[in-house]
Structure 1
C-alpha cells in the first residue's frame, strides 16, 4: 500500500473559510472506502498508487463541480513496496524510537 498526503484548496470562492469545502471532500473520501485521516494541513489517504491517483483527481475535480474558479492541489505519495505501510506507522516508528533511543 501507498500513502497520499493531499491538500485541495478551492480559489475564487465567495467564502473565506474552507471547512464546508473540506467536509464535501471528506464525503467523497468516505464513499471511496479508502482509509484516510484528516489533519490540520491536509489529509492522509491509504491505498494502491492507482487508487490514490484516482481519488486525488476526484477530489481536485469536485471543487470545480462545486463552483470554484480555480483549484490548487498539493500532493505527495509515498509508495513503499518492500513492506506494508498504513496510516500512522511513521508516527508510531518515531514515537517508539523516542521511547527507546538505543535502537
Structure 2
C-alpha cells in the first residue's frame, strides 16, 4: 500500500478563501473506491494501492475546474514501501516509540 500527500490549489478564484473548494474535493474523495484519506490543514493524506491514489489525485485536480477555477496547481508526494505494510499512522508510531525510548 502506498501513501500519498496531495495539495491542490485553485488559482484565479474570486476569493482568497479556498475552503469551499477543499470541501468539494473531500466530497470527491468519498466517491473514490479503494482508498482511505485524512484531511490536514495543509493537504490530504491518501492511502491505498498506487493506481487508486493516482485516480484520486486526478479527480481532486479536476474538482476545482468543475467549481469554476481557471487554473489549478497540484503537488503530490508518494511513499510507496513494498518491503512491509506501511500506513501513515504506523510511520508516526515508529517515531513516537523512538522519542519515548530517549
TM-score by length of 2: 0.93
| Higher deviation after alignment, 45-54 or 26-35 | 26-35
CA distance in 2, matches of 1:29, 1:38: 10
Secondary structure of 1:88's counterpart equals helix
- Tell me the C-alpha RMSD between the 2 structures: 1.0
Unaligned runs of 5+ in 2: none
TM-score by length of 1: 0.93
CA distance in 2, matches of 1:7, 1:38: 10
CA deviation after TM superposition for structure 1 residue 100, in Å: 1.1
CA distance in 1, matches of 2:94, 2:38: 18
Residue equivalent to 2:94: 93
Residue equivalent to 2:29: 29
CA distance in 1, matches of 2:60, 2:79: 18
CA distance in 2, matches of 1:17, 1:88: 30
CA distance in 2, matches of 1:57, 1:95: 33
Unaligned runs of 5+ in 1: none
